[in-house]
Amino acid sequence: MVELAPDVGDPRTAETNALHASLATMVNRDDFPCLGARSVFRRDNAVVQVYDELGTDEATSALLTDLAAFADEVDVEAGFASFVAIFRRPRLHNEQHFEDLLWAQLRMLHGADEQAWNPDVSADPTDDHFAFSVGGTAYFVVGLHPVASRDARRTVSPTLVFNLHAQFEALRASGRFERMRDLIRQRDEQLQGSVNPMVSDHGIYSEARQYSGRAVGDDWVAPFEEES
């Protein structure tokens, strides 16, 4: 499912292919902690698209179309699959800058979305059962970028990974969720020297706190408001 542009000598095509390859190399490293992401790439179950700039109208329109196609085509029963959006720009100043852009992009997607929020998750980012919804599909969003403080979140370009929430529910139903979760946290500690302080299970704390990868305090509130 990984979609690479043909190499026809176009500098932008070469850049796109380089961004794809860099992400695949990172995920396939032996010490990369997220076993789910490794499985997605090894099974060729990642749809990877490259856009010009994060947090723009152009990116929003393209993302809506591409996410709808992904949701229509993906087979949840076939194992983990992810939609990966890589952005060529902007150049980020710090983690706060990326967090602001991530939530701006999610607000723009929601504002342009004509589908109702997925009824299986909350639209309130302060709710413990919050998950982002677009096109009627619920996602756990993972932000990656060049200035991330966590090694597992550091990529060469701003990136948003949309993971189907239904996959996590299927993993819980199979009884395999806790073991995978614990292994990922152990591997993250081995890589970084500490477990990511933001990680928590869905239904205990709002997953919105995990999206950008920046460590936030207990009083942090996601800059996202549902539009009625």
Structural domain range at position 49: 11-210
Amino acid (1-letter code) at residue 116: A
Pairwise CA distance, residues 180 & 184, whole Å: 6
Residue 5 scores a pLDDT above 50: no
Residue 195 scores a pLDDT above 90: no
Tell me, yes or no, whether 75 lies in a domain: yes
Residue 9 scores a pLDDT above 70: no
- Range from 64-68, 138-142, 148-152 carrying the lowest mean pLDDT: 148-152
- Going by pLDDT thresholds of 50, 70 and 90, the confidence category of residue 17 is confident
Tell me, yes or no, whether 3 lies in a domain: no
pLDDT tens profile 170-185: 666 666 666 667 777 7
Pairwise CA distance, residues 128 & 27, whole Å: 29
**In this predicted structure, what is the pLDDT of residue 130?**
95
* Residue 193 backbone class (left: φ over 0; alpha: ψ -120 to 50; beta: rest): left
Residue 228 scores a pLDDT above 70: no
123 CB burial (10 A radius; 0-12, 13-18, 19+): buried
User: What torsion, rounded to 10 degrees, do the Cα atoms 114, 119, 121, 123 define?
Assistant: 50
**Domain total for the chain?**
1
Helix axes 35-42, 11-27, angle to 10 degrees: 130
- Range from 5-19, 174-188, 214-228 carrying the lowest mean pLDDT: 5-19
**In this predicted structure, what is the pLDDT of residue 39?**
76
**In this predicted structure, what is the pLDDT of residue 11?**
61
Tell me, yes or no, whether 224 lies in a domain: no
**In this predicted structure, what is the pLDDT of residue 204?**
61
**In this predicted structure, what is the pLDDT of residue 35?**
74
- Region 59-63 average pLDDT: 97
**In this predicted structure, what is the pLDDT of residue 77?**
67
89 CB burial (10 A radius; 0-12, 13-18, 19+): middle
Tell me, yes or no, whether 223 lies in a domain: no
What residues contact residue 159 under an 8 Å CB cut-off, 6+ apart?
A: 23, 84, 85, 86, 87, 143, 144, 145
Mean pLDDT for all residues in the chain:
84
**In this predicted structure, what is the pLDDT of residue 191?**
72
Tell me, yes or no, whether 138 lies in a domain: yes
**In this predicted structure, what is the pLDDT of residue 29?**
84
Tell me, yes or no, whether 172 lies in a domain: yes
- Region 77-81 average pLDDT: 73
**In this predicted structure, what is the pLDDT of residue 1?**
46
Q: How many CB atoms within 10 Å of residue 1?
A: 15
Residue 21 scores a pLDDT above 90: no
pTM of the predicted model, to two decimals? Answer: 0.85
